[in-house]
Structures are given as structure tokens and as C-alpha cells.
Amino acid sequence: MTGVAAAVMTGPGAVELREFPRPEPEPGAVVLDMRLSGICGTDKHTFRGETLQYAGTPHERQIGYPLICGHENVGVIAAIGGADAVPDGAGRPLRVGDRVVPAANVTCGRCWYCLTGQPYYLCERMEDYGNSLGCADPPHLFGGWAEQMYLLPGTALHRVPDAVPDELAVLTEPLAVTHGIDTARRLRRPSFGESVVVVGVGPLGLCHLIKARLVGCGRLIAIDLLPSRLALAEDLGATLALRADELEAGQLAERVRAHTDGRGADLVIDASGVPETFPTCLRLVRTGGVLVEAGAFVDLGPVGVNPAADICTRNVTVLGIGGELLSDYGPALELLARSHDRLPVDRIVSHRLPLSRAGEAVELAQRDGAMKVVLGGR
Amino acid sequence: MTGVAAAVMTGPGAVELREFPRPEPEPGAVVLDMRLSGICGTDKHTFRGETLQYAGTPHERQIGYPLICGHENVGVIAAIGGADAVPDGAGRPLRVGDRVVPAANVTCGRCWYCLTGQPYYLCERMEDYGNSLGCADPPHLFGGWAEQMYLLPGTALHRVPDAVPDELAVLTEPLAVTHGIDTARRLRRPSFGESVVVVGVGPLGLCHLIKARLVGCGRLIAIDLLPSRLALAEDLGATLALRADELEAGQLAERVRAHTDGRGADLVIDASGVPETFPTCLRLVRTGGVLVEAGAFVDLGPVGVNPAADICTRNVTVLGIGGELLSDYGPALELLARSHDRLPVDRIVSHRLPLSRAGEAVELAQRDGAMKVVLGGR
Amino acid sequence: MTGVAAAVMTGPGAVELREFPRPEPEPGAVVLDMRLSGICGTDKHTFRGETLQYAGTPHERQIGYPLICGHENVGVIAAIGGADAVPDGAGRPLRVGDRVVPAANVTCGRCWYCLTGQPYYLCERMEDYGNSLGCADPPHLFGGWAEQMYLLPGTALHRVPDAVPDELAVLTEPLAVTHGIDTARRLRRPSFGESVVVVGVGPLGLCHLIKARLVGCGRLIAIDLLPSRLALAEDLGATLALRADELEAGQLAERVRAHTDGRGADLVIDASGVPETFPTCLRLVRTGGVLVEAGAFVDLGPVGVNPAADICTRNVTVLGIGGELLSDYGPALELLARSHDRLPVDRIVSHRLPLSRAGEAVELAQRDGAMKVVLGGR
Amino acid sequence: MTGVAAAVMTGPGAVELREFPRPEPEPGAVVLDMRLSGICGTDKHTFRGETLQYAGTPHERQIGYPLICGHENVGVIAAIGGADAVPDGAGRPLRVGDRVVPAANVTCGRCWYCLTGQPYYLCERMEDYGNSLGCADPPHLFGGWAEQMYLLPGTALHRVPDAVPDELAVLTEPLAVTHGIDTARRLRRPSFGESVVVVGVGPLGLCHLIKARLVGCGRLIAIDLLPSRLALAEDLGATLALRADELEAGQLAERVRAHTDGRGADLVIDASGVPETFPTCLRLVRTGGVLVEAGAFVDLGPVGVNPAADICTRNVTVLGIGGELLSDYGPALELLARSHDRLPVDRIVSHRLPLSRAGEAVELAQRDGAMKVVLGGR
């Protein structure tokens, strides 16, 4: 067979393996031989058809089918259009055979957001692999759940250090979403050794927990419904793990305060993906602390918030984080290169399935016992 | 008569003129001959008895009666306890006869918030003049609605530049509450020339508007229910004034976008004091912009907020601002010294009443046609 | 005559009027009918041949002759290549006839500096109009000292608000160089109302002084050798003007301290362009303050600095500022739109000469009595 | 014997063991049974009499003899004046028997620096243990090189977590000096995973290196003259170690660039303590990077710096760091509590000597093979 296999989502709940013609890169474009592609929370929503109702972005784009998902990618350069080399994110030449993590998005470079140095995912005409870029038209392969991926000219590429295995490199993108931690440190003292709560330690929460640990936080509290996730969180450095199904919001707040000298946490990360946790998170953060709202990419409706009691008089800062920083792919890979031997890779990437089992993989990613699920190989 | 007159709030809705013995300052304390004392939004809530239900501070203090309100103060030093001089906020000696603005609060200096350089109003054992410090016990005079005021040892004092009239000096404290503007500039580009919306241009909103204008914002939009307030806002530099009673939230958002190149405002200040405006404000801010929640000192219940659509995917930052920075009293006075001739003082301080009419003044401060109302003289 | 006239620098000290063919814009390029082009300090160095020795940029580019100088520009769009419109810095369409300020530089978009959101002038392959882009080859017109200017595809363009006259619009670029003031405010309290010293109030220093005043600084001290410059500085809001030729470094420091409550200035801007002022500036800044080194674009050799006494133990921050922020063109134009009626335009732009007298204009720009000198018209 | 032994510096180069009366704490004061006290670079300068010429602080205090040195301390509370408990840095009660690290300084609380939340060591009337506070007068014991130490009322105390051994707790103060790393992250992207050079890996440099590693830097380069220090640096995570005696400044710069994708380091820490390294450090930092000048507490004269080539056109930021943040003692202890098992304590604290051998210890601290030298026990 000479075609390129890909897992195509043809509608809500439907994924099937299809073949596409082997792509020829236009000048500046790159074709990647895929190694691994992660399943993201957004993919689960897309699979459930929820992103049809609300695209979860500032631009309210509609995601259309058919679609090849997959924006957390690692692969090897198979072809470069019109040149021997293409620059990586550090300006060094990349050549065929180099292992890279591509950026999840391509920007227009001409809108106000692009021209004024705002976070790149705020671009008004952003295209995102595995989301806004469908597979109906050639060259089709705009998602990572495939044997090959087509990267448009201008897509940033980041060389993967040799020390970093594919299973960690595939975490680069979600790690680059954790910049709320860094911004919080710009805003508030202390800038290190702070207490951190992560609410929802699925893959994105776990990336926040890993990041918090590797950049020198102090006490680290994980909250989740699933015991398997809390157990992994503890192995990764959580100093306290709390079961959200066994404790009410007030009890959680009390336990967090007891673990943080009575004050509440300096920093709370809401990576749950559901709105109900938002008011609870506001109760976990200390007066003057920061709440990072990072997981709610899909609109699941409003919740009750008290601007006076929860935000104004308690001097709380809320940081909405809607995507990853382009400038953080490189540092994330550096961090993984320095710390890979301290991370239980096989537990963080809990399952690896072939493309032919993509639908099963999405289902699996939503169950207890699963952490990051990745796809690789036909 | 030799006593010191003060307007004493004896319970919700009840203010009467009483006399107290002339105070003798203990070592380090200062007695002030009051020039002017402002009526703050919190005072209105206290007058209505609303602060009985919820004290509006992180420490959930109960404000008790009898109480001499008044924490926006300017006066002249009448006596210094145990010394010829006391240092001002710049470390220079202050003597009897010097005109000063005292800080609204006194901190403990020993709690975590004090020791780690957090905003001083987060002190766990803070005492605030005109609020937590009642007048039941000697020396009684812990509020500015009086002929004299007693300042505890350790209270910061700021010398008023000669060029600044009393009517502007009395705005120093609310101007020092506007630091959300400065923090927003630390977080986001642009750092000047940005578009700003102020929702609720009562006295606190007006101080934000004055600050925004004097520190070089670009387009400046005022939103309020009262035409008299919007007219003053326009005279102070608002480039657009919108009637909140004539436009729905969606229409306000549309008008704000039309005035800001289609994006929404870089910075939105919620100075309305009511929770209902909070979700509206979230719709006025641009993707990646900042919302300062500054007016909601008193708990009036929750509102519906959508963490996904309003905060996370739009990358919005919310800054809760619960008080003034001690370090901003000096800069606020410097700014007034530089800009006093560009401010229509008599319209900003719309009414000046004697202490004997304090109750009437509080009522007045809540009506159309009034802006900052101040008390001065028996 | 059908050609386009330009003032061409053919070598050190030699400028002559030449004609070039009227350019046809390639797709994405823009041709500008020039209104005004400023003479910058760098141009003076180039005229003196000093930039031959050291190009003054991180990339150590050699500036070659022949060259059309001029990177502080305002003009009207004459033609757009391959389209009816081109987006401005706010993403809105610009058409023929629109008045704009073009960015002084074009970046590669692919190097580490571009990809990670560093200041755009750090681009490793930056081309700058009037400097690195000579006029030997077609389309020749890469500088503003000409009747028309050719702007390469990807050059950012900023629409000039109607309220801003050409004479102020031409200051947009140097105003966008003053971001050291904003960065200092991110680093240190106070964030407004601070004391500022500007050393060297030539055009760049004056732009810093204007910016400082318009964004709400407090006391403002100007230091220069030329009385005419100090007089203008005072009219623009300097609260103290000091003659550098009449006072030694120690005396300057003493006078600055006396004007700043004994501490020294919160912020010192070195816009002198000569290295000798650098150690003096370190003595003018308060302990814990910030020194912005903004004027020294051309290498004139080392000076003696004491890292212990001047920087470490006094906790001083030094910010080297080597160019303008792309994101500050828009805010600078907004600020000018808000404040133009408070600025004595005809004194800030002291001389306007035709292109045929460009050599004379450069000489003039270095003399007492001159502030910003601009070129416009044949 | 019932007296308290202390190592008293009676003049340059002279240290002897003396006995003092057992102190009785005044109200609010605390007496500590000393566990360990470190020898700091400043102590070495004091021992050599260099601090007589220049006190190395903004206030130009003269350090006088006789003096008990020692401001890097850990001990156990022996007595509290006038109370059962005293609050720690987190506001929790400390009692007799609790193990603590005391702050190195006591501030006045009334000067501009104290009132405006500047770094506490900028206090205009600061007293520092082991430096400005001599031992001529009762209660004498104002330094840590003693069996007991007397802590004035208002001295901040930080409880040592059980997991942290004395040998690491004694590093809390120098770790709290490394805040230049955190400030650099506020200023520049990337905010983690950045490349770091530490020049001079003596104890202070090593603390910077440990901090950089524990807060998630990427590549980490150590430069020193002594092979023993470089070997330890590599064991602590340096990815490159360079001998300053074998490579010229230009060669060092070349090696650093080769290790940092050709750019130079994002962050350079000058912890050498001598001025000659300063211009070299400026050559090691990338364009747009940050240089932290942290080690030069004692004035050893000026060096040649080029403001144009080294700072302005390369957009370099220099952060002078003259002391530790009070708010960083707690986070430093948290970081040690989380990471103590990854640090080779016995190599970081290379020598432990009794007080009776203090002079020998100071000599030893300046030799190859020694890292942090501490005193403990009579």
C-alpha cells in the first residue's frame, strides 16, 4: 500500500481509518512522519460533538467534519518543500530525519494580536491543526492522528533533544499551556516555593502539576474524583491529595487552608474542564492569590460567582488561559531534557494505541485508570 | 464649648453630632485638625446597615456602632505624642501645622501579609479608621467625620504639596485604590495609550477615569445610569459616554467594540458596586484584556459567570482590588500636584457640608447630581 | 519631470538630490507619498561616518553608501501591490489616500527572536529602512528622505488619527523607543507619579520627557548643555532644569537629591548619546531605582563603572533600550491624539527643510536652537 | 562556666573566643541557642579589613570592631521576652524549643523604603546582625558566631521544616539573595527552561546555581577558577563547566554561545565578588538577556564598560542585587524541604568548625576545596 493512513472523525462519535495520497510539500511546508499524537480534552469534546455548539475560541469558529484530530505531536521530518532545510524555533536549520514537535497553530502575522506580540493563539485568523483545519481538501493531513502530517509554511518547529523520549515530547504542547503558573509569579510574591492546588489532575492538570514541581513550587495539593489520578499525582510530588467526591467545597477549602498555614493556596489551577469547580477554586485560593482557569475550553454554561466576596474584597486575580505560548515550546523541551529521568513516563502516558483503534482510544481517555492516551502507528 | 464635635453613626440610618474630650496623643500618635473628610461608598453601605451582614473584608470583621466614619481625610497636625516631629511617608519630619493625608489603615506588621510585602490592606489584623475602629472607647476619634482625628502610632502620614487644594487632597485615598490600572499595565501590552472602559462613574469610578487619563490611556469610555455623571466624565476626557439604562449588555458591548477597532477594551474597570455589572464587564473587555473589579466591597450576592466563554477561551484576566496601596498615596499626591489645574475641582467635589448635616450628606451622596460629597467644619 | 527625488547620502558628509524611477509595488508592498521624515541621531552618526566603524546593532551590520536615510516617517499611501487594501497595525484595511506611519524595520519572522515574541528590533535578520537597506538597487527608495518611499511586504503600517498633525506623527517612532519608562514601571514601585531625570534633552530625550509627562510622572528634571533645550523642557513640564556645563557630576547628584526628597530619582533616562554620562546617571538614580540607557546607539568607547558601589549595593537596575517596540506605534499615536493640543508642535519640530537641503538639515540638527529637524518636499 | 562563648573579631585579621553574660530578652526579643552560622563573603572582607574603607551598603555604614559576625543562622529558641510565643514569618506562634532561621536584618518600618514596600534591605536605618550591630555594648550577642544570639524585637523568624537539616537551613539567607533569577523571569521570556551562566561558584554562586536548577532552568553553565568548585557545580546540575583561568573572555563568550544555540545566555549571574568579571559577563549574556550583579558587596574599584556596545544596542538588562528579600526566606525553606534529598549536603557545607577556630575557618573559606564553611559549637 502506498497511501497514508489517518484516523478520520467523520461526525460525532465516529472515527475510521482512511487512506490519503502521500503529500508533496509546497515551498516552506514540511511533511512529518508521525511518531506519536496525544488525545486532548478538546478532542474528547469534539468526539462528543460538543464543539459543534460552541467552538471554544475567541473567534467562535465551527469545527467541521471530516477532521483528522491531533495537535499534540512529535514526528520526524520526511520532506521539506523547496529547500534543504527549514529553521527551527531557535533559528537553527532542520533537515530531513530530524525529530521535532510542531506548533499546534499557524498565525496570520498581520492582525493586531500578531503585530503587537499578544499570545499567538489569540490571532484573529489562526488555523489550528486537528481543529479548524479539516481533512476534506488536499493535502488533507492537517492532524496528528495519522502516519504523516502536513505542516503549512510558517508553522514553528521545535527540535527534540536526544534525551527526551517520544512519550515525553508529546507532552510539549500541553506543558506550553501551563504559562499561567509563570504569569502568576510575575504578579505576586512569592515567586517560587509557593503553595499550589491543581483541581482536576487529568492530563492537563498533570502537566500543570509537573510544571509546578519542576519550577520549584512548595506544597502541592491535587484534587480529583479518580483515585488512580490522585495516586499518580502523589508520586509526582503532590504533598496532599484530596478526593472531590468525598469532600464538599467547604471541606476542601478547610483542608487546603490546613495545609497552607491557614491561608489558602497562593496559586490554584482549575484544570477540571467543567464550570462547577470554578466557584470552589475561588474558595481555595488565599486572599491576594491567583486562580488560573485553564481547562474550560468548551462552553458548558454559567455558574454563580460572587464578585464582592470571592474576588474584590479578597483581592483575587483570575487568569484565563486559552492556549499555549509559542515561546514556551522550547523551554518545555529544555525542562523535559533536564528532568526526564525523574518522571514515570509509562504512567503519565498510560496507553498507546494504533491509529486503527482511535475511537476506542478516545473512549479510554475518559475512563478511570487512563492518563494521557497517545496514538502511534497504523 | 471645649469638646471636639464628631458625626457619630449610632446605628443604621442614624447619625448625630456628639462631643468628645480633646484627645492627648500617646507617644507616636498624632492628633489632626480635620480639614475635609470624604463620604465613601462603604460609608453608604454602613449607613444602610448592609455592612452588618457582611463586613466586606477578608477578615470578615463586623463593623460596630457607635462609629465615626471617614477614611478619606485631609487635615493639619495639631499635636504629636512624645516628640517634636513624626516622619512622613517619604521619611521627612512632619511638625505641628503641617497639612497631611493620613493612611486609611494601620497594619500589625507581624502577620504573613505584612512580612512578605503584600498589599497592606491584606493585613490579617488591620484596623481601619472609620470602619473597624469604633468610637465607644477613648480616645474615640478614629474617623474623619469630626473636628479632630486621632491617629494611632504607626499610621503613615503623607505631606500634601502646597499646590494641591484640600478638595483634591481628599481624593488621595480613592486615587490610591486605582492601582488595578498599573497592575494591568504590568500584565499586558500596550502599557500606555490603551483603551479603557469605566463602568460606574461615581466617585471611585471617576477616580479611575482621572487616573487613566493622567497616566496616558487612549480612548476612554464611561458607562453609567446618571446623565450628570456621564457629562462630568466627558469633561474629564471620556471619548465616549454610554447610558446603561438605555442600552442592553449586548448593545453596550457592540458600542464599545465599535469605539475600539472592533476588539473590545484593553482594560475595563468595574466600579459600579453592584454584582450585576460583572458579567457585562466581561463582555466589554477584549480577548486577552483585563477586568478590574474594584467597586464591590459589600457582598450583594452571586451572579452568573461563564468560566469557559467569558474567561478561559477569551484569555481574560480579572483583578480583584480590595483597597488602596500604601505606596500610592505619595504618587497620587504628586500626580495631583502636577495636574490640579486641569481638574474641575468644584464639580468633582460636588457638595461640602458641615458635620452637623452628615446624615443628609450621606443621603445626598446617593442621588443624581452628586459626585464626591465631603464633610468639613462643625 | 517624472522621477522621484531623494536625498542620497553618497559617503560621509556628502548628501545630494537624485532622481529615481517611480516604483511599482510588488504584491504586499506599499508605495508612500512622503509627508515628513525626521532626522535621527543615528542619521547624524551615519553622516559623520561613525556608523562605518560600528553599526550599533546586535547584528553588527555595516551601513553602506549610497543610502537614503529616514526611518521616522509619515506619508500617504500612493499605491498598494496586488490588492485594494493592506491591513494596518490594528488589522483594519488601509487604502490609497490613507495617512500612515510605517514601522522603521521589517523582521524575518523565523528567527528565535521573532518566534519567541522578543522586541522586534532584536530580529537576527532585521532590515531597517534608512539604515541597512541602501539605495543602490531597485526599487531604491528604502528611506524617508525622499518624495516617495517603498515599503516591503510585511512592513507594519499605522493609521494616523485625524487629530494628529504630520509634525507630531513624525515623532511616533522615537516615542515608541521610550518603552524603558513602561518597563521600569513593571519592575519598581511607584508605578506612576515617580520622579524622572532625563539626561540629554535632544529629540530622543525630549520624547522621553513628553512620554513621562503624558503618562503621569511626578517631578521631572531635565539636564543638558544647551539652554535652548532646557527652556523647551521646562515648557513641556520639567520641574527642574540643570545645566550640565555648569555643574559637576557630584553637584548634579546633589541637586537631583534635593529635588527628590533626598533620595535621587526613581528613574533616570540617559538619552545623551555619549558614554561619559553613563556613570553620572548611575549617581543620579536612587537606591533601588532604574536607569534607562537609550541614547547610545553608536559605540564611542568604554567608561569606568563601579559594579559594587554603583549597581550591586545600590540595587540599581539598568535597562538597555536599543530600538522601538512595534506594539507601541499604535499607543504612541493614541497618546498624541489625546494630547496634541498640549504640545508646542512648532518648537518640538524646530525646523522643516526641503529634501534639496538635507545636508544642511543634518548640520543644523546638531546645533543649539534646533530640536527635531524634519525634511519634506523637494 | 556559665557565660556565653562567641567568636569576636577585634580588628582586621583578629578573631578570639570571648565570653558574655547570658542575655535576658526584653519584651518582643528572642534569645537563640545557635546551631550553625555560616561564613559569608562579606565576613571575609570584614576579616581583611576591606569593609572599613567602604561599607558596601547604600547607607555607607562603617562596620566597627569589636564585632561578632554571622548573619546566616539557624538555631533553637531559648527564651522569648515578655510572652509565651512570638509569631513566625507565616504568622504562626513560635515557642521555646522551635528551630528557626532569623532574618539577617531589622528595619525601621518608618522610612520611605519601608513604607512603600521596597526590598527590606534598602531600609535607610537598617541594622544588620553580624555587621552594623557590634558587640561592644550589652546584650552584645548580635552575631551568629556564638553559642547564643540576641534578636531584637521585630526581627522576622522563620520556622525550619523538620525535613530540612541544619546544614541546609543555614543556606536560607543566601538562597533568599538569589531573587535576581525571579526578577529576570518577570522581565523576559522565557520564564522557565532558560539558559543560565553562573560566574563564580563559591557559596553565593552555588546558591544561585541550586536555585536555578530547582526552579527549572534549562542549560546551566558554571565558570570559576577552582576545579573543585566546578566539579561540585557539575554534580549539582551544571551542563557545562568552564575554567576561567584557562579561557580568555572572548573564548568564554564563544563557549557559552556554542552551548546556547549561538545566542549567549538568557541569564548571567555575576557572583564573583570582583569587578573584573563584570564586562566579561556582559559579553556572555544574549541580546535582550539579563545580567544579575549579585556578588559585589564590597567596592573594589571601577572597570571599563561600554554603554553602547554592551548595554544599549544589545538591549541588556542589569539587575543589581544588594541583599535578600524578607519574603523569600519562607519560600527558600519550602524549596529546601521539597528538594533536600537531591542535594549533596556534605559537599555544599564543606567544613564545620567550632567557634574557637573561627579565624582558621575564615582563612579556610577562601581556599580551594572549601565551599560553605560553617561554625557551630564552642
**Predicted-assembly ipTM surpassing the 0.90 threshold:** yes
* Amino acid D51: pLDDT: 63
CA distance C68 to C133: 8
Q: For C338, what's the count of Cα atoms within 13 Å in the CB-facing half-sphere?
A: 27
User: What's this model's pTM, rounded to 2 decimal places?
Assistant: 0.96
Instruction: Please check the confidence at residue A59 and state whether its pLDDT lies above 50.
Output: no
Q: Which residue has the cell 546551631?
A: D35
CA angle C84, C86, C91 (to 5 degrees): 135
Question: What contacts A41, CB < 8 A, 6 or more positions away?
Answer: A202, A203, A204, A273, A295, A297
Would you tell me how many other CB atoms lie within 10 Å of the CB of residue A368? 9
Residue A356 to residue A378: CA distance in whole angstroms: 6
D148-175 pLDDT, tens per residue? Answer: 999 999 999 999 999 999 999 999 999 9
Distance, in Å, from the CA atom of A15 to the CA atom of A362, rounded to the nearest integer, reads 10
Quick: pLDDT tens for A212-266.
999 999 999 999 999 999 999 999 999 999 999 999 999 999 999 999 999 999 9
Helix (H) or strand (E) holding D257: helix D249-259
User: Region C223-237: what's the mean pLDDT?
Assistant: 96
- Chain A CB within 8 Å of residue D26 CB: no
Nearest CA in chain B to C260: B90
Is C326 within 8 Å of A91 when comparing Cβ atoms?
no
Strand residue runs (E) in chain A? 4-11, 14-20, 30-38, 73-80, 86-87, 93-94, 99-102, 105-106, 127-128, 148-151, 157-159, 196-199, 220-224, 240-243, 265-270, 285-293, 303-305, 317-320, 349-353, 372-375
Cα first-last separation, chain D: 12
Which amino acid does the sequence have at B152? L
> Does C370 score more than 90 pLDDT?
yes
Query: For B160-176, what is the mean pLDDT?
Result: 97
Chain D (29-48) residues lying within 8 Å, Cβ to Cβ, of chain C: none
| A171-194 residue pLDDT tens | 999 999 999 999 999 999 999 999
Mean pLDDT over residues C68-86, rounded?
97
Q: What percent of chain D has pLDDT over 70?
A: 97
pLDDT of residue D248: 96
Compute the distance between CA of residue A329 and CA of residue A331 in angstroms, rounded to an integer.
6
Contacts with B, A 246-275, CB within 8 Å: 261, 263, 270, 275
Grid coordinates of C229: 533645550
Cα radius of gyration (chain C): 20
Question: Could you give the domains of chain D?
Answer: 4-174+325-375 (3.90.180.10), 178-320 (3.40.50.720)
Q: Please identify which residue in the block is written with the cell numbers 525646523.
A: C351
pLDDT in tens, C172-208: 999 999 999 999 999 999 999 999 999 999 999 999 9
pLDDT tens digits, A129-169: 999 999 999 999 999 999 999 999 999 999 999 999 999 99
Cα–Cα distance between D328 and B114 in angstroms, integer? Answer: 13
Please name the member of A92, A190, A217 whose beta carbon is closest to the beta carbon of D330: A190
Task: State chain D's mean pLDDT as an integer.
Answer: 94
* Whether C91 contacts chain D with CB within 8 A: no
| Whether residue A53 has pLDDT greater than 90 | no
Is the pLDDT reported for residue B286 higher than 50? yes
- Are A320 and B312 a contacting pair at CB < 8 A? yes
Among residues D136, D128, D155, D152, the alpha carbon closest in space to that of D329 is found at D155
Tens digits of residue pLDDT in B42-79: 888 888 877 655 444 444 456 789 999 999 999 999 99
If you average pLDDT over residues D275-283, what whole number do you get? Answer: 97
Number of A/B CB contacts below 8 angstroms equals 170
CB contact under 8 A, A305 and B300: no
Distance in angstroms (rounded) separating the CA atoms of residues D154 and A182: 33
How many C-beta atoms surround the C-beta of residue D52 within 10 A? 15
Return d(Cα D20, Cα A230) in angstroms, integer: 55
pLDDT digits (tens, 9 = 90+) for B91-147: 899 999 999 999 999 999 999 999 999 999 999 999 999 999 999 999 999 999 999
At C364, list the grid cell.
Answer: 543644523
Backbone angles phi, psi at B41, to 5 degrees: -55, -40
Would you state the pLDDT for residue C41? Answer: 83
d(CA C345, CA C342): 9
Query: Is C153 in contact with C29 (CB distance < 8 Å)?
Result: yes
Distance from CA of D116 to the nearest CA of B (A): 4
- Calculate how close chain B gets to C3, using CA atoms only, in Å: 38
pLDDT in tens, C118-133: 999 999 999 999 999 9
CB contacts under 8 A, B 171-200 vs A, are 183, 186-187, 189-190
Residue A300 contacts B, CB cutoff 8 Å: yes
Distance from CA of D42 to the nearest CA of C (A): 12
Q: Please tell me the distance from the alpha carbon of residue B87 to that of residue D110, in angstroms, as a whole number.
A: 7
The pLDDT score that the predictor gives to residue B49 is 78
Assess A112–D contact: CB distance below 8 Å, yes or no: no
- Average per-residue pLDDT for chain B: 94
State in Å, rounded, how far the first CA of chain B is from the last one: 12
Taking residue B22's Cβ as centre, other Cβ atoms within 10 Å add up to 15
pLDDT value of position C236: 96
Contacts of C222 (CB under 8 A, 6+ apart): C197, C198, C201, C205, C209, C229, C230, C233, C234, C238, C240, C241, C242
Residue B177: φ, ψ to 5°: -85, -10
Q: What is the pLDDT of residue B366?
A: 85
Using CA atoms, how far apart are residues C297 and C300, in angstroms rounded to an integer?
9
Cβ contact D316:D188 at 8 Å: no
Please tell me the distance in Å from C375's CA to the nearest CA on chain D.
Answer: 26
Q: What is the greatest pairwise CA distance in chain B?
A: 66
- Bridge partners of B148, per DSSP, are B33
| CA-wise closest residue to B211 among B178, B244, B165 | B178
Q: Compare all CA atoms of chain B with the CA of C213 and give the residue at the minimum distance.
A: B215
Q: What is the pLDDT of residue B1?
A: 53
Nearest to B127 by CA among B105, B156, B111: B105
> In the prediction, which pLDDT does C1 show?
53
Q: Which of residues 308-367 of D touch B (CB under 8 A)?
A: 325-327, 330
Q: What is the pLDDT of residue D140?
A: 98
Best CA proximity match to B221, nearest among B247, B191, B190: B247
- pLDDT, position C247: 97
Within 10 Å of residue A21's Cβ, how many Cβ atoms? 12
Q: Which pLDDT score is estimated for D191?
A: 94
Nearest-angstrom CA–CA distance, A131 and A67: 7
Q: Identify the residue among B59, B92, B107, B115 best suited for mutation to test binding to D, counting D beta carbons within 10 A and taking the highest.
A: B115
Averaged pLDDT for residues A37-46: 87
Percent of the residues in chain C that have a pLDDT greater than 90, as a whole number: 88
pLDDT in tens, C31-50: 999 999 999 988 888 888 77
Kindly list the partner chains of chain C, i.e. chains with 3 or more CB atom pairs below 8 Å: A, B, D
Query: A5 has which bridge partners?
Result: A19
Proportion of chain B above pLDDT 90, given as a percent: 88
3-state SS string for A107-136:
CCCCCHHHHCCCCHHHCCCCEEECCCECCC
DSSP strand pairing (B99-102 vs B157-159) = antiparallel
Closest CB to C110 among A87, A116, A117 = A87
Task: Answer whether D151's CB lies under 8 Å from D9's CB.
Answer: no
Query: pLDDT tens across C101-160, in order?
Result: 999 999 999 999 999 999 999 999 999 999 999 999 999 999 999 999 999 999 999 999
Check CB contact under 8 Å for A331 and D261: no
How confident is the model over A118-125, as a mean pLDDT?
Answer: 94
CB contacts under 8 A, B 200-239 vs A, are none
CA B188 to chain centre: 25
Confidence tier at A45 by pLDDT (50, 70, 90)? confident
A278, amino acid identity: F
Given a contact cutoff of 8 angstroms between Cβ atoms, the answer to whether A74 and A160 are in contact is: yes
Quote the minimal CA–CA distance from A26 to chain C in Å: 17
b/e for D217-239, b at 16 or more Cβ within 10 A?
bbbbbbbbebebbbbbbeebbbb
Chain A residue numbers with beta carbons less than 8 Å from the beta carbon of D219 are 334
Q: Nearest CA to CA, how far is B107 from chain A (Å)?
A: 16
Task: Single out the residue of B11, B104, B7, B15 nearest to residue B52, CA to CA.
Answer: B11
**pLDDT tens across D220-239, in order?**
999 999 999 999 999 999 99
For the segment A343-352, the average pLDDT, to the nearest whole number, is: 95
| Residue A245 zone, left/alpha/beta (φ > 0; ψ -120 to 50; rest) | alpha
Average pLDDT, chain A: 94
Condensed to tens digits (0 to 9), the pLDDT of residues D30-41 reads: 999 999 999 998
pLDDT tens digits, C273-308: 999 999 999 999 999 999 999 978 888 899 999 999
Minimum mean pLDDT range among B326-340, C56-70, D131-145, D295-309: C56-70
Nearest to A370 by CA among A226, A244, A274, A212: A226
